[in-house]
Structure 1
Amino acid sequence: MKTVVFASGKGGTGKTTLTALASHLWARWGIALADCDVEAANLPIALGAQERSSRPFAGGAVAVIDQDVCRGCGACARVCRFDAIVQGSESFVRPTLAVDPLACEGCGACVVQCPDSAIAMVSTIAGRVVTATSVVGPVVYGELVPGEDLSGKLVTEVRGAALEIAKRDGADLLVVDGPPGVGCPVIASVTNTDLVVGVAEPTVSGEHDLSRLVTLARRLGVRVAVVLNKADLSAEGAERVRHLARTEGLALLGEIPFDYALARTLEALAAGAALEDVLATGSPGLAAAREAIAAIETLL
């Protein structure tokens, strides 16, 4: 089984659109999908996926102060380096303190410092791993609770769940819609994959962030190829991306013009339209995207 990751180095390049279209064309092989943008999973929307099950994703521990025991001595506030200790309930007899869960980093220093043993570390739920069905195959995605970190760990959980489903179903291909950027979530997405498809747009930031993605993938020993999306929006920007591909020795698999028909194509497919009927429209963007996807198949 092969694994291909569509990544971008930045948001807004059309990565999810290309992932969704490729998934429709590759569904004949038997595929499983993972949306690793756990802060804003859009692939299930593009595929019209229906949630079937979910399980909680455990976060880190945060400190909780027992208001009945706390006497407000302030020892915990003095030792907290994250200013997470705030004023709790007030009374004439005994003012108390509380913990801001969004500011708490879970270091546990306050637990050790409290002379009354009024503080304990409590595990939290940072999100969930969701399994859904779609017209092209099973989709696994994550939902991170706003304000939580551990996004890289949740991505690992999502990829692991998608891989288990792919093995169970005998899928030939695991298709991953990667998150933007080059941080922990991206590292968790592209590690141990067969191919990273860098989807770039013809802008200065598009070229810059594609370069960072290439550097990251090479450090992880993963092969990279490039698709230039919205290529006709800037001749200068498109040439910057082409120059980067030539300089880095990357295969430029295709150049897709800006075309609203691509979005309408995905809407029709998600609504249940036949793939053959939709592809017969033959818009310039759709034709170019199909050529790029065929080139990805060749590399895989």
Structure 2
Amino acid sequence: MQVAIASGKGGVGKSTVTASLLYLLKDEYRLVAVDADADAPNLGLLLGVGEWEEERELIGAKVARINAESCVRCGICAERCPYDCIKVIDGDYVVNELTCEGCNVCGLVCPVPGTITLEEVRSGIVRKAMTRYGFPLVSAQLDVGRPESGKLVTKEKEWAKSLMRELGLEHMIVDSAAGIGCQVIASVGGADLTILVAEPTPASLSDVQRVYRVVQHFRQPAHLIINKADLNPGFTALREWAEAEGIPILGEIPYDRAIPESMGMLKPFVEAFPDSKAADAMRAIAERVKEEILG
């Protein structure tokens, strides 16, 4: 199976839950993990990955280039650029590649054909490592100012699928990014189901409802884990929403200082503090995942 783990809102503990779930499932299932947050990948940190065994570049983003020799310095390109990324440096018009979106408006308005062209540049890298727990992790890192984060996630999942075939792996666990953008769509698309992670706050409820609509678009079942469940005891709207939508709640994890401490140790909290309240709750959730999701 391919299981996506999403939250909508950042900072609710999705990656810490994913790392601990992987740790608890590793002895019974042959897994591959995917860190699908190309902007800020951190699953490798939580799993103690120090070095990457292999890296692959994704070339596909486009930026404008201005030929200084044929440029007549009329300034029309700088005036029309919707991203204000063309500046005059030492008398030449130069494109700031970090802010250029490759829209080609400058090339269309330039009066001298061929002076402004679009060239392909690197969007980022996809990388692989074998974790110390015996399962592979595929991650990605988007280059600064580059688009195509969704394509990076797609490349990650393609690599993970090839590893499943080569190594005889059973399940793919995808730790998606926050929000509902390209990365999340690429994470959820093609999955068999999505596990939502939320905390009992109005902001988290609003964002998990948004990402749930993305899950519904792909006609997938969803389950919910409530993290920091005792953080706001008077807030019942999250549970009421899940009940109204028919979303099963896999379990609730209490707020526990063991979790941030385990992050500093670069370990899943169920390994670093197996006797903590959070670890007890996470083990109960893992049992339900085994029974109700992985079968």
Cα distance per residue 1:122-176 (max 9 Å; x no partner): 1111211111120231111110112222111111111111121122111111111
Residue number in structure 2 paired with 1:290: 283
Residue type at the aligned position of 2:14: K
- Structure-2 separation of matches of 1:230 and 1:274: 15
How large is the RMSD of aligned CA atoms in angstroms? Answer: 2.3
Contact 2:101 2:147 in 1 (8 A): no
Partner of 1:236, secondary structure, is: coil
Letter in 1 for 2:20: L
What count of residue pairs does the alignment treat as equivalent? 289
For the residue of structure 2 that corresponds to 1:209, the secondary structure is: helix
Distance (Å, rounded) in 1 between the aligned partners of 2:113 and 2:248 = 64
Partner of 2:39: 39
Q: Is the partner of 1:104 in helix, strand or coil? A: coil
Alignment partner of 1:150 is 2:148: yes
Q: Which runs of 5+ in 2 are unaligned?
A: none
- Structure-1 residue corresponding to 2:225: 227
The equivalences for 1:1-300 within 5 A come to 2-28=1-27, 29-49=29-49, 50-90=51-91, 96-112=92-108, 113-115=110-112, 117-136=114-133, 137-237=135-235, 239-264=236-261, 270=267, 281-300=274-293
Structure 1 residues 290 and 189 mapped into 2: Cα distance closer, same or farther (>3 Å)? same
Quickly say closer, same or farther: Cα 1:266–1:82, change in 2 above 3 A: closer
Residue 125 of structure 1 aligns to a residue whose secondary structure is strand
Structure 1 pair 264–77 and aligned structure 2 pair: CA distance change class (3 A): closer
How far has the Cα of 1:120 moved from its partner?
2.2
Identity level (%): 33
Q: Match of 2:52, SS?
A: strand
Alpha carbons 1:10, 1:181 under 8 Å: kept: yes
In the TM superposition, what is the alpha-carbon distance from 1:108 to its structure 2 partner? Answer: 2.7
- CA shift, 1:263, in A, is 4.6
Query: Structure 1 unaligned runs (5+)?
Result: 91-95
Decide which structure has greater helix share.
Answer: 1
Deviation per residue, 1:41-65 (Å, 9 max, x gap): 1100000113111011124211111
TM-score, reference length from structure 2: 0.90
Change (3 A) 1:10 1:269: closer
Offset of residue 198 of structure 1:
0.5
Which shows bigger deviation, 220-229 or 107-116?
107-116
Deviates most, 161-170 or 43-52: 161-170
Displacement of 1:267 in angstroms is 6.4
* Structure ID, larger Rg: 1
**Shift in CA distance, 287/269, structure 1 to aligned 2, threshold 3 Å:** farther
